[in-house]
Amino acid sequence: MKLFDLEGKVAVITGSSRGIGRAIAELYAEAGARVVVSSRKLDACEKVVAAIEARGGSAVAVACNIGRKEECEALVARARAAFGRIDILVCNAAVNPYYGPLTEISDEAFDKIMAANIRSNLWLCRLVLPEMAERKDGAVIVVSSIAGLRGSPAIGAYAISKAADMQLVRNLAVEWGHANIRVNAIAPGLVKTDFARALWDNPELREITLRQTPLKRLGEPEDIAGAALFLAAPAGRFVTGTTLVVDGGVMIAGRL
């Protein structure tokens, strides 16, 4: 058995035009999967597809705003039309339009965070889990965050959504394990992506993070992609309902 082989598998990855999602898409393609690259902007997705195909991989681009149910349905339909099936779902896309205390967040911002970061993941799972169950095989990975494991004075609503994602995978793992479907989450620490730029591009915040990180560096998108490959491949075939923390040691170190 090739533990990290995805040959013959089809993977749908949301938020995969850049950052962590793109790194996952490219690594999955290298491992042999046919990949559906998705984000809100089609041209950005097509650039990732071109890069994958240039290295001999197979991929298609599908624009999708995960906050819109009809677009999630269209994403799954387009994936099936292109490749005939879906074996792996990676829910990576997320939003965080608000920084500040929870008591001051608007209802609109709070609802947007919960809808995009939790409900859309459930929508997508509802669309693909029955198909996976018919084949008695499938893997779902939700990209959460270590923010969901602790409190935050600035991104509390985002943290709530990411904690809920961890419970979502636990519940779905229990409900669908009988069909040999594995559902897991990844909780990254601070990773150098555009999404987290406000945190790592701030010299003071960056220094605090590095001081609290035993490995003394920030994460790179490829660090998270490696974990996502493990959870999707045969190497992770007995892992389900768990949250894999990939943070350079921040959560176990406290203050250094």
Cα 22–chain centre separation: 10
Q: Tell me how far CA of residue 98 lies from CA of 16, 64, 107, 109, 155, in angstroms.
A: 22, 22, 11, 7, 7
The H or E element spanning position 230 is helix 221-232
Task: Please tell me the distance from the alpha carbon of residue 169 to that of residue 61, in angstroms, as a whole number.
Answer: 26
Q: Is 2 exposed, middle or buried (0-12, 13-18, 19+ CB in 10 A)?
A: exposed
Residues 102/156, Cβ–Cβ less than 8 Å: yes
Q: Looking at the DSSP assignment, which residues form a beta bridge with residue 181?
A: 138
Question: For 15, left (φ over 0), alpha (ψ -120 to 50), or beta?
Answer: left
Q: Looking at the DSSP assignment, which residues form a beta bridge with residue 213?
A: none
Which SS3 state, helix, strand or coil, does residue 12 take?
Answer: strand
For residue 26, give the nearest of 41, 40, 11 by alpha carbon: 11
Which residues are identified as catalytic? 158
Chain position carrying tokens 């045969």: 234
DSSP state of 116: I
Which SS3 state, helix, strand or coil, does residue 1 take?
Answer: coil
**Sheet strands side by side (includes 138-143):** 58-63, 34-39, 10-13, 88-91, 138-143, 181-188, 243-246
